[in-house]
Amino acid sequence: MTTSERARPAEALRAAWSRFRATLPVPPAPPYVVPQDDPGVAWSRRLDRVRAALEQARTDLVEHGWAQRAWFSVGADGGTVRLATSAEAFALVRPTGTVAGACLVGAMLRRAEDPDRATTHDDVWGAVDELYEALHERMGHGSLPPGRVDAHHRRQAKLRVLTAWNDAPTTTRADVLDLLDRAVSRTVVGACR
């Protein structure tokens, strides 16, 4: 038997195998682009994350206390509580620092900086937007629909307004908790549309 005679059965086997493979269904190409969520679903998820950030901040204010005229208050000698200095406040933003109380903005900042929580900076900025609009509603003014995203410079202005309102002598802890509840309600209503 020659070499060419031995190659013929191998070629015939290869040809039969190729014909058989041609009859098999071709699997679809793998998706290289991550499919985007439905915009309505993405909207609801975003509002859910903002709501969670607001509820966590409310829980922190209830458990740790509320402060005015500073981001945080800390325990002092003799069991008293004092306001944290600006230098101390930057260290206390991290959740590893122990605080005796936090203002509305300080509680939100601690949410964003906690690596053990799923809250992101975008969620906290969304919470600032909702708190600002809830404050307008509370004052009897008109407000924008829930879930609106503003430019960064407008959000910074909203943060200053919320800080000034928190530090006003007439603002009480009950007012701050009420504002958080209103903001949570806004996110729930917004997610239902």
**What distance in Å separates the CA atoms of residue 177 and residue 183, rounded to the nearest whole number?**
10
The pLDDT tens digits of the residues spanning 7-28 come to 577 788 888 888 888 888 877 7
Q: Which of 9-13, 174-178, 182-186 is predicted with the least confidence, judged by mean pLDDT? A: 9-13
Report the pLDDT averaged over residues 104-110: 88
| Mean predicted confidence (pLDDT) in 35-46 | 82
Nearest-10 Cα torsion for 182, 134, 113, 81: -80
Cα torsion angle, 141, 145, 147, 153, sign: negative
Element (H, E) at 72: strand 72-75
Say which residue the tokens 């991550």 belong to: 34
Matching residue, tokens 């070499």: 3
pLDDT tens string 69-81: 988 888 887 778 8
**5, pLDDT greater than 60:** no
Q: Is 177 helix (H, G, I), strand (E, B) or coil?
A: helix
Q: DSSP code of 129?
A: H
